[in-house]
Amino acid sequence: MTTPDFNLLIALDAVLAEGSVAGAAKRLRLSPSAMSRALARLRETMGDPLLVRAGRGLVPTPRALELREKVSQLVQDAEAVLRPAETRNLKQLIRTFTLRTSEGFVENFGADLIARVGEEAPGVRLCFLQKPDKESTSLRDGTVDLETGAVDDTTSPELRTRVLFRDSFMGVVRMGHSLSQGEISSSAYASGRHIVVSRRGLAKGAIDEALSSLGLEREIVTIVGGFSTALALARASDLIASVPERHTGNLRNGMHSFPLPIPVPDFTVSMLWHPRMDADPVHRWLRGCVLDVCAAIR
């Protein structure tokens, strides 16, 4: 079956609306001869003359009259589909966004993000999920709208990303801990008893590599899956937690924080989304909210 030339719908709409070749040509900014060729193709395709001579003018056939409103609506619908999406009225928007975030993001940024979204779009609900891995399937299939985390070699190249902030590790102990007073040396830090945070249960990481380069090794007492758990343990014991500064700002209230006395690289936290959501105006608005909230909290 031959695929129809849908461009003929535009020509047909112009011919039926104007009732003349000259008028249709002017409407479509075509030459009269080009419009005449288009009308000839329409007549051949549809098996109907569409416009017939009546004195000095042309009149539509019954078939043309029957199609006029229908064709006009089809063209309008097609133009609406191809037109860039318009920003919706956020006050009337009813929608749930699912965000998969790394540990600590909700605790530190969630309240301000919920307040910002609620003020601008009271019908929008945020659903936060924990991020146990970097698998991008949930972004691809649409079950998750937005993610936060570090971008590295394992991140799917098809995803869109935008940097939110840079973060760095710092040490945290309870008030009254021996490390809560005075300057802390690398050897004093290493000699303490430590909590390691690892989603995969790994006992060694960048901090241990930095210590090893100085000929030092720390005693790892326990391994936990998240920053909030590590800080809760450190708050109730003499253990040392080493956590990202900006991810844990609210969680460290009432505790003593100190810069690590060893050279551990900073890392970048980004938001990630699937490219099919790139042009969606409401999704773009949500990304702007996340970006603004992260920039405001230091």
CATH number at residue 228: 3.40.190.10
pLDDT digits (tens, 9 = 90+) for 143-168: 999 999 888 877 888 889 999 999 99
Q: Is the pLDDT of residue 2 over 80?
A: no
DSSP 95: E
Helix (H, G, I), strand (E, B) or coil at 50: coil
Alpha-carbon distance values, 276 to 61, 140, 226, 279 (Å): 45, 9, 31, 7
Average of per-residue pLDDT across 13-25:
88
Q: Is the pLDDT of residue 287 over 70?
A: yes
In a domain? residue 1: no
Q: Is the pLDDT of residue 291 over 90?
A: yes
Residue after which a domain boundary falls, among 32, 63, 82: 82
Closest CA relative to residue 231, chosen from 212, 250, 214 = 250
Q: Is the pLDDT of residue 1 over 60?
A: no
The answer to whether 189 touches 214, Cβ cutoff 8 Å, is: no
Lowest model confidence (mean pLDDT) among 83-87, 211-215, 227-231: 83-87
CATH number at residue 49: 1.10.10.10
In a domain? residue 11: yes
* Residue-range definition of the domain harbouring residue 11: 7-82
Can you give the pLDDT at residue 152?
A: 80
pLDDT digits (tens, 9 = 90+) for 61-85: 889 888 888 888 888 877 767 766 5
Average of per-residue pLDDT across 219-243:
95
The answer to whether 9 touches 73, Cβ cutoff 8 Å, is: no
